[in-house]
Structure formats: structure tokens, C-alpha cells
């Protein structure tokens, strides 16, 4: 039963990773941009929520809409004002632009909030549990995280498959030049894709800030987890991202159960094994 509980806890942790990685999957799927600033965007969102909570003393859940809007606007501006030009210059220049922005964000957060670890206090919901048996418990907050992750993925799937703008996203992802010939403004579309991605990142960043502490230097580790979830599931597959997050979460929890402190290492080893034997991921396909 202990192992059953580990699997359940791994699934719950995987839901958090999937929520965090969904925006990364969207950006790569639409514009093939390797965004090295993704982890720092999530930490930036957590600090914005922290600033709001410190100013008006509200539960961090209530900041999600405001932080989501701020991050979406920032995403559109930074895509139109920086990343589009870098992408025109070449894929390497685009990667370097995201890396440079990540360093800038880290240093700005360090100047504004110091290097001390912070956290978001969501109240009693953080410690509330559903007790299934003596050895199996489900935390309410991790359960809410999984539910939110599934809702976000469902909404994103519906948007991409059922709306006109979503079809434009898919057309641009399939063939950028053909989409331009059909009158699609890819520069504007890329800005919208980044806006949607950062709005999702805002949700993930706040949930991570509630679950654990964060600091200005925490972004790169979050980036690694996000990329591992996306690559395990398969590049371009939204539901593959959820599966990838769950696989990574289970590996980490079971690794910690086997030997305390081994969780992250076991997660990396599972990622490398999948990359070696199935480099395209478990469900590699274009988002529909």
C-alpha cells in the first residue's frame, strides 16, 4: 500500500509539472522556439503574486487573474519586441535571446526581492487531506492542482481544435509560409501564442509558489522539469505533456521513497532512458 500511495503522490506531483509545462509545449508547438526563460517566467509570476499579496493581504488564489493578465501582456510585448526579431535572425539567436532574458529576470528579481527564499501562503488548504486509509492520503491542494491542470489542457485543446484562431495556430505550426500566403500575420500570432503561454505559466508559477518556496535563482530547475515533461510526453502533444509530467512525478516520488534525496536524480535517469530508447517521446504528434 505504501507503493500505491507513492504512485498517487507521483500523479499529483505530475499534474503540477504538466500545468507548468503546458505553456512551454504550446510555444514550441506553434513557433518551434526553445524558450530558456520559461522557468524564470514562472518565478516572475510567483513574485508578482507575492507583491500583490503583500500589498493588499489576499489569498494568492485571488491573484491568478491579475497575474495571468500581466504575464500575458508581458508575453505579447516581449515576443513582438524581441523574440520575433531574434527568430528572424536564426534559431540560435532566438535561443540566446531567451537565455539573455532569463538572466535579466533573475537579476531584477534578485535586486527587488533579495536572494532569500519566499513562499505563498494559501491557508489551511495546503495541509488539508483526504484520508483513504492509514497509508493512503490525498492532499486537497495537490488534487486541486491536477484538476486545474486537466481543465487548462482541455481548454487549450478546445481552443486549438474548435476556434478560428486555434486553427490559425495549427496552420502556422504546420507551414508558416503557406499560412502567411493565406493572410495570417505570423508575428501577431506568435505574440498571442506567447501571451497564452505566459498566462498558463502564471497559474503554474502561483501553484508552485504555494507548494514550495522559491527564489530568484529557482527558474532553471523549473525549466528542466518542464522540458523533461514535454520531451517524455512527446513534442507537440498536449496530453503527452500531462503523461510526461505524471511519469516524471512518479519517478521522483519513488526515488525519494527508495532513498531520501534521490528523487530528482531518478527523475533525470527516467528522462534519459526514454530519450535514449524513444527520443520522439511517448505520444509525439502535432497538437490538434
Beta carbons within 10 angstroms of residue 213's beta carbon = 13
Task: Tell me the per-residue pLDDT of 175-187, one tens digit each, with 9 for 90 and over.
Answer: 877 877 788 888 9
| pLDDT score for 182 | 80
Residue 188 pLDDT class (50, 70, 90 cuts): very high
Whole-number pLDDT of residue 122: 93
Q: Give the pLDDT score at 285.
A: 58
Residue/partner pairs of 85-90 with CB below 8 Å, 24 or more apart: 87/31, 87/33, 87/190
C-alpha distance from residue 9 to each of 92, 125, 143, 206 (Å): 38, 17, 10, 20
For position 65, what pLDDT does the model report?
Answer: 96
Residue 22: the pLDDT is 92
pLDDT at 286 over 60: no
What gap in Å lies between CA 132 and CA 126, rounded to an integer? 18
Per-residue pLDDT at 288 exceeds 60: no
CB 213 within 8 A of CB 118: yes
At 191-241, the pLDDT tens digits run 999 999 999 999 999 999 999 999 999 999 999 999 999 999 987 788 889
Q: What pLDDT does 105 receive?
A: 97
Per-residue pLDDT, 179:
79
The answer to whether 17 and 245 are in contact (CB under 8 A) is yes
137 in helix, strand or coil?
A: strand
Give every CB contact of residue 192 below 8 A, 6+ residues apart in sequence.
76, 165
Which pLDDT value is given to residue 1? 65
The pLDDT of residue 287: 40
- Which run of H or E residues covers position 253? helix 238-258
Backbone angles phi, psi at 131, to 5 degrees: -90, 110
Angle, CA 117 vertex, CA 220 and CA 54 arms, to 5°? 115
Q: Is the pLDDT of residue 165 over 50?
A: yes
Residue range 77-136, pLDDT digits in tens: 999 999 999 999 999 999 999 999 999 999 999 999 999 999 999 999 999 999 888 888
Q: Among 156, 194, 197, 152, which residue's Cα sits nearest to residue 16? A: 152
CB 131 within 8 A of CB 139: no
pLDDT tens per residue, range 6-43: 899 999 999 999 998 999 989 988 888 999 999 999 99
Instruction: Look up the pTM and report it.
Output: 0.91
Amino acid at each position: 500500500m505504501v507503493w500505491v500511495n507513492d504512485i498517487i503522490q507521483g500523479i499529483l506531483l505530475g499534474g503540477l509539472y504538466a500545468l507548468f509545462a503546458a505553456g512551454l509545449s504550446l510555444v514550441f508547438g506553434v513557433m518551434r522556439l526553445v524558450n530558456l526563460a520559461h522557468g524564470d517566467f514562472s518565478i516572475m509570476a510567483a513574485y508578482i503574486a507575492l507583491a500583490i499579496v503583500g500589498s493588499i493581504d489576499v489569498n494568492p488564489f485571488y491573484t491568478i487573474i491579475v497575474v495571468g493578465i500581466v504575464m500575458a501582456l508581458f508575453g505579447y510585448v516581449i515576443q513582438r519586441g524581441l523574440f520575433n526579431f531574434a527568430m528572424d535572425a536564426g534559431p540560435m539567436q532566438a535561443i540566446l535571446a531567451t537565455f539573455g532574458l532569463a538572466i535579466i529576470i533573475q537579476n531584477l528579481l534578485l535586486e527587488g526581492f533579495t536572494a532569500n527564499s519566499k513562499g505563498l501562503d494559501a491557508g489551511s488548504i495546503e495541509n488539508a487531506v483526504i484520508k483513504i486509509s492509514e497509508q493512503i492520503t490525498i492532499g486537497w491542494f495537490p488534487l486541486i492542482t491536477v484538476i486545474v491542470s486537466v481543465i487548462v489542457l482541455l481548454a487549450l485543446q478546445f481552443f486549438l481544435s474548435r476556434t478560428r484562431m486555434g486553427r490559425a495556430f495549427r496552420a502556422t505550426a504546420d507551414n508558416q509560409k503557406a499560412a502567411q500566403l493565406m493572410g495570417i500575420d505570423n508575428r501577431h500570432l506568435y505574440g498571442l501564442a506567447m501571451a497564452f503561454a505566459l498566462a498558463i505559466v502564471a497559474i503554474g508559477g502561483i501553484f508552485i509558489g504555494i507548494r514550495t518556496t522559491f527564489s530568484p535563482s529557482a527558474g532553471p530547475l523549473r525549466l528542466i522539469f518542464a522540458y523533461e515533461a514535454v520531451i517524455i510526453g512527446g513534442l507537440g502533444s498536449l496530453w503527452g505533456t500531462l503523461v510526461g509530467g505524471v511519469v516524471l512525478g512518479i519517478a521522483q516520488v519513488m526515488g525519494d521513497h527508495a532513498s531520501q534525496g534521490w528523487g530528482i536524480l531518478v527523475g533525470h535517469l527516467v528522462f534519459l532512458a526514454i530519450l535514449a530508447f524513444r527520443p520522439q517521446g511517448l505520444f509525439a504528434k502535432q497538437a490538434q
